[in-house]
Chain A
């Protein structure tokens, strides 16, 4: 089986400052994109605890974590793994790259 990858342009890197976060929708799937001090990271916008939204929660660029707004699990944006309960399952992560000054998200 061949896996297809979709590349989505998020916008100009210059307009996506450190500490900023955006939620984009790709093929009906919501994904949170975060700028951790120049390091662009993306995870699915779904808390594995109860499938509620995740990426709109408080984002801490110092620790590269996002906190589930519903029950407070802290997710590591690099690995997708929860650092605190009540969530215990990881969520999907995605590659983000900067090309010609544009932030590009790769969704497979």
Chain B
């Protein structure tokens, strides 16, 4: 997520924008502390564990996960793209800084300059309650507002949390996403590094968002952060993550695991603005459990990456729990956004909404892949699934793969899907009001994703609109 202060274009205007991915720069690696050799094997996993001086149970967890990863076949259902990933041509652990800063002055200059360019320190000063900045494999800066710490809020990187709150981490670790849930979750479990740990005590409302920013710098890098959020009874927290990487001719891999536990009566919102460069495979497992009366919201925006496979899930375990998934995906040239969401109604009187919006242009492919499941006994469950796809040209593609399993009769379930193109009449009308064709198209796309942007804090909504404009560059003619 870049700072709103970098905004230069007015909505609808594409003038002056030359480079469609402005975060593609990279820094020197001359001062790096450690860079693992390429490749994945038991020794690399042990090396990561050694570097972190972990407890024995975590080391065993990693090694067992590696066995799961090696024994599972590669998923074939995303157009065969995953076969192109060479898991032996990746650096699995890169340490760029000796220690983590509590002030930006403690962060090495090169890295600090990068986060300055991305606008993170400025955003922190203006409207965030806490920031974690991960650069390569580890978090190089972390800070949370003092008043929140006094209320018992824990917001720190996962490596530190494992050292300082081992019992709390261990109680919830991998209970939502076990290491052999899927091949990529197994990979993350074996080589995880960094990510965030958040604990919000009962009744505490964190009014301003917590933000994590993930940056890959090295070529052929794998970033495998691990995030665990526990919202205790009646609490509220909004966590925002953003991500960028340099543009290289070879591929990098990002494969995170995010687990969220929403205890009774709590509410968690998790917002993602994914803007990886177009050489990054983004294969992420995100899942939340919502207990009685709790609310979980995934606000998931996917603009970057070469291939994204991500389906945030919510298990509604307690009566009257509510789940909300709002997903947008923008697939441009050479991109495949395989996104969607899953809601599983386990308890009675649970409700959910899944809204998916996708835009495909210049031969890009966007897919919605979703699951709605109602368990026997989840009476009076209500859910609505809406998938809308916008195709901007005849070379692009949109697919929908909805799965609905209903194990209970007394439920109210709805599913709607639309595929549309920008209409000649819409363009004609807007051009008759003085807009150029490019401006008119930008405005139509902006309106299409408005259900997403209106859910973002104002500064992020402005930035999101700007990123969409960049994606729309050159879409006419």
Question: Is B317 in contact with A88, judged by CB distance below 8 angstroms?
Answer: yes
Q: Which of B178, B182, B317, B346 gathers the greatest number of chain A CB atoms within 10 Å?
A: B178
Question: Is B375 in contact with A85, judged by CB distance below 8 angstroms?
Answer: no
Contacts known (A71-B181, A89-B375); A84 close to B176, Cβ less than 8 A: yes
Question: Is B346 in contact with A74, judged by CB distance below 8 angstroms?
Answer: no
Contacts known (A71-B180, A71-B181); A84 close to B375, Cβ less than 8 A: no
Say which residue of A73, A83, A85 sits within 8 Å of B287 (CB atoms).
A85
Closest partner residue, chain A, to B407 (CB atom): A89
Q: Which of B177, B179, B180, B289 gathers the greatest number of chain A CB atoms within 10 Å?
A: B180
A71 to B68, CA, bound (A): 10
Closest partner residue, chain A, to B376 (CB atom): A89
A84 to B287, CA, bound (A): 12
B346 partner residues in chain A, CB cutoff 8 A: 88
The secondary structure that dominates the A interface is: loop
Closest partner residue, chain B, to A49 (CB atom): B181
Cβ contacts A68-79/B at 8 Å (1 or 0 each): 011111100000
A72 partner residues in chain B, CB cutoff 8 A: 68, 174, 178-181
Contacts known (A71-B181, A88-B346); A83 close to B317, Cβ less than 8 A: no
A101 partner residues in chain B, CB cutoff 8 A: none
A89 to B317, CA, bound (A): 10
Closest partner residue, chain B, to A85 (CB atom): B176
Interface size on B, residues (CB 8 A): 18
A69 to B315, CA, bound (A): 21
Say which residue of B179, B180, B182, B315 sits within 8 Å of A85 (CB atoms).
B315
Question: How near does chain B come to A80, taking the closest CB pair, in angstroms?
Answer: 15
Question: How near does chain B come to A52, taking the closest CB pair, in angstroms?
Answer: 12
A69 to B178, CA, bound (A): 11
Question: How near does chain A come to B167, taking the closest CB pair, in angstroms?
Answer: 16
A85 to B177, CA, bound (A): 6
Question: How near does chain A come to B46, taking the closest CB pair, in angstroms?
Answer: 21
Interface residues on A, range: 10 to 19
Question: Is B181 in contact with A88, judged by CB distance below 8 angstroms?
Answer: no
Flag whether A11 is at the interface (Cβ < 8 A): no
Question: How near does chain B come to A9, taking the closest CB pair, in angstroms?
Answer: 34
A97 to B259, CA, bound (A): 40
Cβ contacts B158-189/A at 8 Å (1 or 0 each): 00000000000000001111111110000000
Question: Is A84 in contact with B344, judged by CB distance below 8 angstroms?
Answer: no
A71 partner residues in chain B, CB cutoff 8 A: 178, 180-182
Say which residue of B68, B175, B315 sits within 8 Å of A88 (CB atoms).
B315
A83 partner residues in chain B, CB cutoff 8 A: 175
Question: How near does chain B come to A75, taking the closest CB pair, in angstroms?
Answer: 12
Question: Is B178 in contact with A84, judged by CB distance below 8 angstroms?
Answer: yes
Question: Is A88 in contact with B179, judged by CB distance below 8 angstroms?
Answer: no
A73 partner residues in chain B, CB cutoff 8 A: 178
Question: How near does chain A come to B341, taking the closest CB pair, in angstroms?
Answer: 15
Closest partner residue, chain B, to A84 (CB atom): B175
Cβ contacts A37-76/B at 8 Å (1 or 0 each): 0000000000000000000000000000001011111100
Flag whether A17 is at the interface (Cβ < 8 A): no
Question: Is B375 in contact with A74, judged by CB distance below 8 angstroms?
Answer: no
A34 to B270, CA, bound (A): 41
B residues 241-299 near A (Cβ < 8 Å) are: 287, 289
B residues 282-322 near A (Cβ < 8 Å) are: 287, 289, 315, 317
Where the two chains meet, the residues of B that have a C-beta atom closer than 8 Å to any C-beta of A are 68, 174-182, 287, 289, 315, 317, 344, 346, 375-376
What 13 additional pairs, Cβ within 8 angstroms, besides A74-B178, A85-B177?
A: A67-B178, A72-B68, A73-B178, A84-B174, A84-B176, A85-B181, A85-B289, A85-B315, A88-B315, A88-B317, A88-B344, A88-B346, A89-B375
4 cross-chain pairs, A with B, having the tightest CB-CB distances, nearest first = A72-B178, A72-B180, A84-B175, A88-B346
